[in-house]
Structure 1
Amino acid sequence: MTVPLVAVAHGSRDSRSAATVRELVEVVRAQAPGLDVRASFLDLSTPLVTDVLKELRDEGHREVIVVPLLLGSAYHARVDLPALVAEVDGPEFTVSVSDVLGIDPLIEAVALDKLSGTDLTGAGIVVSAVGSSNAGANSAVADLASRWQAKLGVPVSPAFASTAQPDVPAAIAQLRTRGADRIVVASWFLAPGLLPDRIAALATDATFVAEPLGPDERVARVVLRRYEAMRLVAAAAVA
C-alpha cells in the first residue's frame, strides 16, 4: 500500500477555517493522483487527527505520514501533535510526523502575491502572524519581515495576534515612526478565522489587509514535499 498522507491543521470554531483546509487537501489530492490524502484537525474541528489515524489503522494500513499544516514550529507542533500521535502509534501501526510547512520560499511567494496590485509607495507593511510562547517561532516571523524589507525596499514589521509582541497597534506605530504614510497588512495565516479577523479589526487605519494564504497550489506543493521528505526518512530507518 502507498503510505497515506494525513494533513492536520489546528482547527477553529470558525467554519471558514476548516472549509479552507479541506479545499487545500483537495488541491493536494489533485497534485498527487493515487495518494490517499485525508484532512484532520488537532481540536475544535472534525475529524480529529486521532480519529483519522484510528480509521486508517482499522482499514489495515501499517504506516501513515502526518503533515502538520502549521506555519510555525511552536507548541502545537512540538507538544500537542506528538501527544495525540502517541495515542495511536505502536509496533503494528507506525505514525511518522513531517516537518511543519514553516517559512518556505513557495509559501512566502503566495503571501507576497496577496499584496500584488497594492501600491507600496510610502507604505509600511505589517506581517501578521499567530504569535507563540516559543521565541524561535516568533523570531522566524521577524526574520521573514526583515527579508521582505530588504526585498521590497519599504519598512516591514511583524505583528502577532496573541501571546507575542509587537501586537498590531504597536507594529503600526513603529512603522509610522519609520516614515510610513500608509499601512498594508500581509497575512501569515493559512486560513480565515478568529485570529485573522482580530488582526483586521485592530488594523482599522490600514489601506489594505491581505487575505490568508488559502488553498493555493504552491502551498499544496509544500505539503507534498514535506510528505515525500518524511517518506524517505521513514524508508531509510526501516532499511
Structure 2
Amino acid sequence: MTAPALIALAHGSRDPRSAETITALTESVACMRPDLRIEPAFLELSEPSFDDVVDRLVAEGHDEIVVVPLLISDAYHASVDVPDVVETAQRRHDGVKIAITKVLGVEQAFFHVLDRRLREALSKNRIRELDALVLAGAGSSDPVANAAIARAARAWGARHKLPTIAAFASSAPPAAGEAVRTHRADGRRHIAVGMLFLAPGFLSDRVTELALEAGSVAVAEPLGVDSVVAEVILARYAVGAVELVPLEAVFS
C-alpha cells in the first residue's frame, strides 16, 4: 500500500527568495523521508500552483494526498483559502482523498530555530549584549492569530529573561519600529528582533527596515530551511495520513 503523497502548501510571494526557500525546505523534508512523494505548492504568486501539483500527483496514480499548510498563523489563509483550493481539487478528481492538517503554528521547537537565527545575526553584527527583544510576525485582521504571536513573544522573552514585545508586519499594531522605540523609551539600547516568518519576502524586509531605522542592533533572518521545521512538517503529515485510514481498517 502506497503512503499518501505530501503537499507542503505555502502562500506564495512575488519575491523569488520565498519560493526558493520553501522549495529547499520541502527538499529537506524529502531527504528525511525518501519513501514519500513530497511536493511544494503555492496558493498564489509563485509556482507550482496547488492545482498543478494535485493534477500531476493524480496522473501518477496517487489517490491519497495530505496537505500541510506552511503557515505560522491559523488565520484567513488557513480557514478559507486552503479549504477552498482543496475542495476545488476534489471536485475535479472524484475518488481522490485529500486531508488538510493543522498549520505549523508556533511549535515549542521553533524557539530553537529562533535562537539559532538570533545568534547568527548577533555574530554577524558583533553584538555581545542584549537588553530587549522584539518578535515579529506577519499580522492579521484576526485577533486570535495575533494573540498567538503575542504568546510566542512572551514565551521567547521568558526563555531569555528579557522584556519582549510582539510586532506585526501588517494589519495590526505595533510595527517593528514602534516596538523597538517602545523599548528605547524604557531605556533599553541593545534591542534585537526575531522573525516568525518561514521565508524571506516583502514583509520580512519591511520588518528589517523599520527595526533598523528605529535603532535595533540586529535583526534575525526568518526561520528558513531547518531540520526542526522539517520535522514539524512530517509530524503534521503523520496525523493527516492517519486521518485518511478508514475506521474499519483501524478497528479490524
TM range (shorter): over 0.9
Query: 1:83/1:238 Cα in 2 relative to 1: closer, same or farther (>3 Å)?
Result: farther
Dislocated runs of 4+, deviation >3 Å: 117-122, 236-239
Contact between 1:155 and 1:180, CA under 8 Å: does it hold in 2? no
Match of 1:50 in 2: 51
Pick which of 99-108 and 174-183 moved more: 174-183
- Cα distance, 1:122 vs structure 2: 4.6
Identity %: 39
Q: What's the Cα RMSD here?
A: 1.5
Match of 2:136 among 123, 128, 131: 128
Q: State how far apart, in whole Å, the 1-side matches of 2:247 and 2:98 are.
A: 13
2:109 alignment partner, SS class: helix
Q: Deviations over 1:92-112 (max 9, x none)?
A: 011101111111112221012
For 1:94, give the aligned amino acid.
Answer: K
Q: Deviations over 1:104-160 (max 9, x none)?
A: 112221012211263574521110110011111110110011112222111100110
Q: Deviations over 1:21-56 (max 9, x none)?
A: 110011001100111000100000000112111221
Match of 2:102 in 1: 99
| 1:76 maps onto 2:77 in alignment | yes
Pick which of 176-185 and 17-26 moved more: 176-185
Unaligned segments of structure 2, at least 5 residues = none
TM-score normalized by structure 2?
Answer: 0.90
Number of residue pairs aligned between Structure 1 and Structure 2: 239
Match of 1:210 in 2: 220
Query: 1:166/1:237 Cα in 2 relative to 1: closer, same or farther (>3 Å)?
Result: farther
| 1:152 maps onto 2:160 in alignment | yes
- Cα distance, 1:4 vs structure 2: 0.3
Q: State how far apart, in whole Å, the 2-side matches of 1:62 and 1:114 are.
A: 39
| 1:198 maps onto 2:199 in alignment | no
Contact between 2:99 and 2:243, CA under 8 Å: does it hold in 1? no
For 1:160, give the aligned amino acid.
Answer: F
1:116 alignment partner, SS class: helix
- Cα distance, 1:58 vs structure 2: 2.3
Q: State how far apart, in whole Å, the 2-side matches of 1:147 and 1:101 are.
A: 17
Q: State how far apart, in whole Å, the 1-side matches of 2:18 and 2:248 are.
A: 37
Unaligned segments of structure 1, at least 5 residues = none
